[in-house]
């Protein structure tokens, strides 16, 4: 266990001795599609990330969670899922993420919602839970504003995930956190309302800057460092000017203030602060102190210190990788259709039936975690898992084999103009895995004109469709990002 | 595969077939009654003479009551049959076995489908078995469209040539259908129209796909020794083969989407039963499952009419046209008839019935020796296949 000596008596382990938590692993995810702000009434420069038609908060969280949990990450004791756009208003959203990440059944699950401050709150909570078995914090949001409004233009869709536990060997130690609570009418949305509303900007600005300063001060005190010790400070706020005003008030140098990704991603609700932190971790060096602050319904702050282990624990994709991998030409009407804001003519096909609870339960590890089976007799990979081997016919001779991270190539494909989809045509492919096995599935994030046999693919967790309010999640393949 | 076959032991002695098409004014009930009564008239029998029935439908109803109620068959055994798109052929096969083994003397195989009531384009059956939601959402044209690029790649066909081949298949079948008063579409379709049709899936346009229609068809069967009680020109069953494959095409990397192994297996079995050694020379004409144009192309090789990699050339050479060496789908096929699932296999047999009795009019093939019907259900890599061989002597 990593500890720090009590700062008062330097006596080593004593009553004041505390074990410092840390960020063991982390991951981020920015969906593939972008909306150009020049095409929006809400205006502004740059672009915002938009989840594809087959993504939702759960699927975004899974993608970020997979990045954080790749390889030999220890299983978390707790999974927290923070979002303001949870797929289900009632039904544990963390359970879907948990199933897709194939985490053990003893995991404690909790959803945190209703404020975009929930992301940093979840991180602080994970840090406070302690350093025994770690906590996985997944934050994902799809910010959908009313058409033609500023929230639509300035919001973003993204996700991040942090595995928080014992600071020894961690990528970053969590030095401290701080909060400032305040009952403030800034952004609100009732359960019956589709879009959030926002009070006059100047009011919130003038309340949030001091709130940030107050949380920051507490956080600095707990961390035992001065503002000048910070390499970078990321400020997440729903108000454009708040970050700059706060930096000035807190006496930060302009070069300490991190890019808030408003021009490339947009503000991604409860995921945004964590996304900024992930971006800082992507390029940080050992010893760097990083602060992340979130101003929403009050303010909260977190300071971490990057360790020498950071290089071993970075995810495959950096935030910059995700931002750079994109399709930028999505039409505004297409986006409105994806969010079901704009009614459209349904396909002349029957609505798909809702998936049934018992078969979903029976095939949970296949459906959610994409776990297939491998024949102990002949080694053939069977997708989906089979009782009798597809290759050699051996009976009950299977081992489970996780395939979510398997890579594949297109064996053959077709562009299906007739299939039911929110975004026809469907590109369907037969894909051969480099590690053996074959599967036929839809392709995601794909331009039908740019598909070719042999193209390299990776698996991605998606919402195939929603029927009777039931989200039908399953896996698709996408061109490697 | 061990099958003993019932070569020449069973005969078809009467058949009926409705016109296939959009029967807005008639339901499955009326279509069944029309086909059944036409078959009875054809065999010069009364309904009461039929001992038992095998009735095929995929979606238009359930149980033998679908037939007994409208036809007023009284108290008779009626077996409802379903085996995907080969449902109609399965009704024939099971009915034939029933008379062959002596359980009954005179039976009817009948099939029906009422597709046009759904309101959807293409085949669509909502609901059904509750699932975990992970099943493939690919439509039928999408799955069969996988054949075209795979075939072109394997045999080095350029896309233009492949397009010409598929167009030729559609053109041929529509030209045949134009000579058939029972077809859904009775007009020739210009090649340019076929080529420039809107795309449905992959390179398949609207005219590469069979139509969607309603229809019913029926056959009366008895043991061959009794056949002449009913007709001077019975159609003898030489072979009946049916295969349900392992459905592993999308599970194994060695399947290449240029063949239906199920068809190869069912053809080999049927040829063994019928004593056919060389299908290219011995089969005079065939009705095959041209659900999509590349299907017919691949079937020509799977059935042994063309050697591997040459069916495209045989197609362009006119081998499979009426007047060619081996006419295929002389009645117009699924292309001209549409595909009312339960009825299609029987509709294929109806053309054999007409052809071997010399009643096919402008489509008549000269002096046929052996005929073949082929019926497919499912998709490449995941299907069932039926093959029959029939003849007059």
The full set of domains in chain B, from first to last, is: 10-119+214-236 (3.40.47.10), 140-209+237-391 (3.40.47.10)
Average pLDDT in the B99-124 region? 91
Report the alpha-carbon distance of residue A353 to residue B126 in Å, rounded: 7
Alpha helices in chain B (DSSP H): 28-43, 65-71, 87-100, 140-145, 147-155, 159-177, 191-195, 261-274, 279-282, 293-302, 311-316, 333-337, 341-356
Q: What is the pLDDT of residue A2?
A: 41
Distance from CA of B198 to the nearest CA of A (A): 10
A vs B: CB pairs below 8 A: 127
Of the candidates A353, A416, A472, the beta carbon closest to that of B138 is on A416
Distances from the Cα of A176 to the Cα of A302, B60, B83, angstroms: 6, 68, 67
Residues in chain A within 8 Å Cβ distance of B141: 416, 418
3-state secondary structure of B88: helix
Q: Measure CB to CB from residue B133 to each of A349, A421, A472 and give the nearest one.
A: A472
pLDDT the model gives residue B393 = 86
Helix (H) or strand (E) holding A408: strand A407-416
Q: Which residue of A has its CA nearest to B382?
A: A440
- Closest by Cβ to B142, choosing from A356, A367, A428: A428
Average pLDDT over residues B316-334: 98
Dist. CA B110–CA B52, nearest whole Å: 11
pLDDT (0 to 100) of residue A3: 43
Name the β-bridge partners of A477: A443, A459
Query: Could you tell me the pTM of the whole model?
Result: 0.94
Rounded CA-CA distance B340/B27 in Å is 12
pLDDT given for residue B38 in this prediction: 98
Q: Given an 8 Å threshold on Cβ–Cβ distance, is A453 in contact with B139? A: no
Cβ-Cβ contacts under 8 Å for A30 (sequence gap 6 or more) = A49, A157, A158, A265, A275, A319, A322, A323
pLDDT at residue A350 in the model = 78
Distance from CA of A478 to the nearest CA of B (A): 16
Question: Scanning the structure block, which residue is given the tokens 């040539």?
Answer: B161
Residue B372 region by backbone torsions, left for phi larger than 0, else alpha for psi between -120 and 50, else beta: beta
Give CA–CA dist A263/A388, Å, rounded: 53
Greater confidence (A246 vs B126) lies with A246
Q: Using a CB-CB distance cutoff of 8 angstroms, which residues of chain B are in contact with residue A354?
A: 133
Q: B200 and A418 in contact by Cβ < 8 A? A: yes
Contacts of B148 (CB under 8 A, 6+ apart): B162, B166, B202, B203, B204, B294
- List the 407-436 stretch of A: residues with Cβ below 8 A of B: 411-421, 426, 428, 430, 432, 436
Contact in structure between A173 and A167 (CB atoms under 8 Å): yes
CB contact under 8 A, B142 and A362: no
Residue A6's pLDDT is: 44
> Which pLDDT value is given to residue A8?
46
Active site residues of B: 85, 339
* Cα Rg of chain A, angstroms: 23
Q: Looking at per-residue confidence, does A291 or B135 come out higher? A: A291
Flag if B250 and A415 touch (Cβ within 8 Å).
no
Question: Residue B251 and residue A437: Cβ atoms within 8 Å?
Answer: yes
B201 and A358 within 8 Å at the Cβ level: the answer is no
B74-88 pLDDT, tens per residue?
A: 999 999 999 999 999
Tokens of A437: 């096995």
A455 touches chain B (CB under 8 A): no
What pLDDT, on the 0 to 100 scale, is given for residue B1?
A: 62
Cα–Cα distance list, A473 to A31, A88, A354, A463 (Å): 17, 13, 11, 4
- Rounded Cα–Cα distance for residues A459 and A479 (Å): 9
Sign of CA dihedral A176, A180, A185, A190: positive
What was the pLDDT predicted at A436?
Answer: 97
pLDDT value at position A18? 59
Q: Collect the ranges in chain A with pLDDT lower than 70.
A: 1-18, 42-43, 131
> How many C-beta atoms lie closer than 10 Å to residue A363's C-beta?
18
Does residue B379 register a pLDDT over 90? yes
Residue in B122, B136, B138 to test binding to A, most A beta-carbons within 10 Å: B138
Q: What are the beta bridge partners of residue B375?
A: B386
User: Which of B123, B134, B148 to mutate to test binding with chain A, by most A CBs within 10 Å of its CB?
Assistant: B134
User: Where do the domains of chain A lie?
Assistant: 3-338, 357-479
Using beta carbons and an 8 Å cutoff, which residues of B are at the interface with A? 118-122, 124-128, 130-134, 136-139, 141-143, 145-146, 149-150, 153, 198-202, 246, 248, 250-253, 255, 257
Distance from CA of A477 to the nearest CA of B (A): 13
What is the mean predicted confidence (pLDDT) over B167-192?
98
H or E element at residue B389: strand B382-391
Which chain B residues have a beta carbon less than 8 Å from that of A472?
A: 133
Confidence (pLDDT) at A42: 67
pLDDT digit string (tens) for B31-42? 999 999 999 999
Of chain B, the end-to-end C-alpha distance in Å amounts to 26
Name every chain A residue with its beta carbon within 8 A of the beta carbon of B128.
353
Residues of A in contact with B253 (CB under 8 A): 411, 432, 436-438
Pick the CATH number of A3-338 from 1.10.10.10, 2.10.60.10, 3.40.47.10, 3.40.50.2300: 3.40.47.10
Instruction: Give the per-residue pLDDT at B124.
Output: 66
Partner residue opposite B131 with nearest CB, options A356, A415, A438: A356
Q: At B79, is the secondary structure helix, strand, or coil? A: strand
What average pLDDT does the structure give for chain A? 93
């Amino acid at each position: 266990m990593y500890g720090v000596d009590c700062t008062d008596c330097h006596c080593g382990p004593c009553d004041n001795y505390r074990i410092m938590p840390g960020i063991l692993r982390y991951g981020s995810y920015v969906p593939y599609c972008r909306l150009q702000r020049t095409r929006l009434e809400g205006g502004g420069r740059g672009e915002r990330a938009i989840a594809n038609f087959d993504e939702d908060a759960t699927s975004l969280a899974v993608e970020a969670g997979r990045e954080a949990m790749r390889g030999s990450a220890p299983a978390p004791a707790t999974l927290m899922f923070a979002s303001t756009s949870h797929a289900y208003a009632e039904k544990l959203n963390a359970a879907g993420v948990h199933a897709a990440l194939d985490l053990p059944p003893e995991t404690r699950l909790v959803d945190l919602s209703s404020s975009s401050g929930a992301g940093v709150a979840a991180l602080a909570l994970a840090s406070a839970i302690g350093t025994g078995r770690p906590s996985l914090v997944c934050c994902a949001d799809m910010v959908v504003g009313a058409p033609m409004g500023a929230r639509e233009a300035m919001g973003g869709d993204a996700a991040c995930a942090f595995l928080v536990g014992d600071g020894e060997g961690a990528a970053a130690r969590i030095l401290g956190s701080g909060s400032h609570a305040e009952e403030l009418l800034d952004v609100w949305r009732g359960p019956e309302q589709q879009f959030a509303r926002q009070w006059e900007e100047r009011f919130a600005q003038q309340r949030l800057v001091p709130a940030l300063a107050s949380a920051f001060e507490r956080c600095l005190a707990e961390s035992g460092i001065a503002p000048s010790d910070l390499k970078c400070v990321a400020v997440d706020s729903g108000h454009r000017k708040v970050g700059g005003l706060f930096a000035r008030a807190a006496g930060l140098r302009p070069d300490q203030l991190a890019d808030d990704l408003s021009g490339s991603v947009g503000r991604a609700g409860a995921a945004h602060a964590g996304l900024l932190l992930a971006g800082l971790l992507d390029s940080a060096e050992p010893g760097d102190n990083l602060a992340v602050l979130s101003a929403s319904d009050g303010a909260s702050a977190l300071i971490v210190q990057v360790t020498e282990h950071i290089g071993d624990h970075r995810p495959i994709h950096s935030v910059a990788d995700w931002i750079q991998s994109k399709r930028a030409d999505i039409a505004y009407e297409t986006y409105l259709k994806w969010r079901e804001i704009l009614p459209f003519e349904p396909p002349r096909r029957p609505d798909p039936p809702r998936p049934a609870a018992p078969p979903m339960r029976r095939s949970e590890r296949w459906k959610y975690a994409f776990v297939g089976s491998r024949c102990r007799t002949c080694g053939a990979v069977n997708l989906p898992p089979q009782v009798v081997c597809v290759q050699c016919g051996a009976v009950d001779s299977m081992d489970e084999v996780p395939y979510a991270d398997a890579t594949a190539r297109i064996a053959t494909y077709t562009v299906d103009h007739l299939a039911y989809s929110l975004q026809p045509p469907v590109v369907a492919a037969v894909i051969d895995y480099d590690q053996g096995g074959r599967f036929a599935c839809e392709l995601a994030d794909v331009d039908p004109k740019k598909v070719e046999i042999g193209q390299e693919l990776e698996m991605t967790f998606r919402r195939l469709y929603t029927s009777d309010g039931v989200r039908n999640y399953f896996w698709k393949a996408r061109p490697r990002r | 595969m061990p099958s003993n076959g019932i070569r020449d032991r069973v005969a078809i002695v009467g058949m009926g077939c409705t016109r296939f098409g959009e029967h807005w004014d008639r339901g499955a009930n009326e279509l069944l009654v029309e086909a059944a009564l036409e078959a009875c008239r054809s065999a010069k029998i009364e309904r009461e003479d039929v001992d038992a029935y095998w009735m095929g439908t995929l979606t238009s109803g359930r149980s033998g009551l679908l037939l007994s109620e409208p036809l007023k068959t009284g108290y008779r055994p009626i077996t409802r049959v379903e085996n995907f798109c080969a449902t109609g052929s399965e009704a024939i096969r099971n009915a034939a076995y029933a008379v062959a083994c002596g359980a009954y003397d005179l039976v009817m195989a009948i099939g029906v489908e009422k597709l046009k009531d759904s309101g959807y384009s293409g085949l669509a059956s909502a609901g059904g078995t509750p699932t975990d939601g992970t099943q493939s959402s690919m439509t039928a044209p999408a799955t069969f469209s996988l054949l075209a690029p795979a075939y072109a790649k394997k045999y080095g066909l350029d896309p233009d040539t492949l397009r010409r081949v598929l167009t030729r298949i559609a053109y041929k079948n529509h030209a045949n259908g134009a000579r058939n008063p029972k077809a859904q579409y009775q007009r020739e379709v210009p090649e340019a129209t076929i080529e420039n049709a809107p795309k449905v899936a992959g390179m398949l346009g609207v005219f590469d796909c069979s139509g969607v229609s309603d229809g019913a068809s029926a056959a009366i069967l008895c043991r061959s020794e009794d056949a002449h009680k009913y007709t001077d020109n019975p159609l003898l069953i030489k072979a009946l083969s049916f295969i349900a494959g392992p459905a592993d095409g999308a599970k194994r990397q060695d399947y290449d989407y240029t063949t239906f192994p199920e068809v190869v297996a069912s053809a080999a079995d049927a040829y063994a039963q019928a004593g056919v050694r060389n299908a290219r020379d011995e089969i005079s004409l065939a009705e095959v499952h041209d659900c999509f144009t590349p299907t017919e192309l691949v079937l020509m090789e799977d059935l042994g009419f063309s050697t591997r990699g040459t069916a495209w050339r045989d197609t362009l050479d006119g081998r499979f046209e009426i007047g060619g060496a081996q006419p295929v789908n002389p009645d117009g096929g699924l292309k001209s008839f549409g595909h009312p699932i339960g009825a299609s296999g029987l509709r294929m047999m109806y053309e054999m019935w007409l052809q071997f009795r010399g009643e096919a009019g402008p489509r008549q093939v000269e002096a046929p020796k052996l005929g073949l019907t082929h019926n497919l259900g499912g998709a490449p890599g995941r299907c069932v296949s039926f093959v029959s061989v029939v003849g007059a002597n």
